[in-house]
């Protein structure tokens, strides 16, 4: 299966799992279906963007190796 087809299938899984979540009664646990959504989205992201890791820094100081303006 070509990469683009696999990405499209993962997107379909994600969309269908989101539809299931929307149809579940409020008293039903959605954890497993939400896990499917996250897993499909993560795998699709890795295929679309490679193994880039985007990390948001929450520190106030400079990054390691970054010069501090004086």
**What pLDDT, in 10s, does the model give residues 13-60?**
999 999 999 999 888 888 999 999 999 999 999 888 875 555 565 555
State how far the Cα of 29 lies from the Cα of 31, in Å rounded to an integer.
6
Report whether pLDDT(6) > 80: yes
Structural domain includes residue 7: yes
Residue 13's pLDDT is 94
**pLDDT at residue 65 is higher than 70:** no
Residue 13 covered by a domain: yes
Average pLDDT (6-19) is 94
Q: Assess if residue 55 is contained within a domain.
A: no
Of 12, 6, 54, give the one whose Cα is nearest residue 36.
Answer: 12
Token pair belonging to 53 = 């890791």
Give which of 28, 49, 36 is closest to 9, Cα–Cα. Answer: 36
* Residue 45 located in a structural domain: yes
Domain that holds residue 43: 3-49
Task: Give me the number of domains the chain comprises.
Answer: 1
């Amino acid at each position: 299966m070509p990469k683009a087809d696999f990405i499209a299938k993962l997107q379909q899984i994600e969309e269908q799992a989101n539809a299931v979540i929307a149809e579940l009664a409020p008293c039903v646990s959605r954890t497993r279906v939400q896990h499917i959504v996250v897993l499909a989205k993560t795998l699709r992201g890795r295929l679309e963007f490679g193994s880039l890791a985007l990390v948001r820094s929450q520190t106030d100081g400079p990054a390691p190796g970054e010069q501090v303006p004086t």
